Amino acid sequence: MAQVEATTERVIAADAEAVFDALADYSGTRAKLLPEHFSEYEVREGGDGEGTLVHWKLQATSKRVRDCLLEVTEPTDGELVEKDRNSSMVTTWRVTPAGEGKSRVVVTTVWDGAGGIGGFFEKTFAPKGLGRIYDLVLDRLTTETKK
């Protein structure tokens, strides 16, 4: 079983604190950021960053749907980590200043991939597909945090 990793990043013309606050607002803003690949969104505990428990289904392909129950932590300033209780998947959002009134958002998801030929295809194609999904999330985050 090989680890699979997908990373997407974007510089957004908004203050890092405002961008982080939007990402951490699971009870409000976060739901607005999710494209059609996400369904059954529900905040089960908390709702603002650390201590949040959030559920959604992620449909990465027409055949692949992941039922996610994510525990949210904030291990360092500007960092949200979403650990899936249902799998090995961990998504880390890092928001850092990137110049005057700008921020850099880096989202990285890692999980234990399948073995064999299925694992080869997963490691080859899943990061690209997830990258396209996170591009949509970052597009919406950009719109949501415009000054």
Greater confidence, 72 or 64? 72
Tokens 């699979």 -> residue: 4
pLDDT at 112: 81
> pLDDT, tens digit, for every residue of 49-70?
999 999 999 997 777 788 999 9
9 bridge partner residues: 106
Average pLDDT, the chain: 91
Strands 103-112 and 53-59, sheet pairing: unpaired
Q: Residue 104 has which token pair?
A: 């850099």
Reading across the β-sheet that carries 53-59, which strands appear in turn? 3-12, 103-112, 90-97, 79-84, 65-73, 53-59, 38-45
Q: Residue 136 to residues 30, 36, 124: CA-CA distances in angstroms?
A: 13, 10, 20
Helix (H, G, I), strand (E, B) or coil at 144: helix
How far is the C-alpha of 20 from the C-alpha of 105, rounded, in Å? 9
Neighbours of 100 (CB within 10 A): 7
> pLDDT, tens digit, for every residue of 10-61?
999 999 999 999 999 999 999 999 999 999 999 999 999 999 999 999 997 7
Q: What share of residues in the chain are helix, strand, coil (percent, to 5)? A: 30, 40, 30
How far is the C-alpha of 50 from the C-alpha of 42, rounded, in Å? 16
Whole-model pTM: value is 0.91
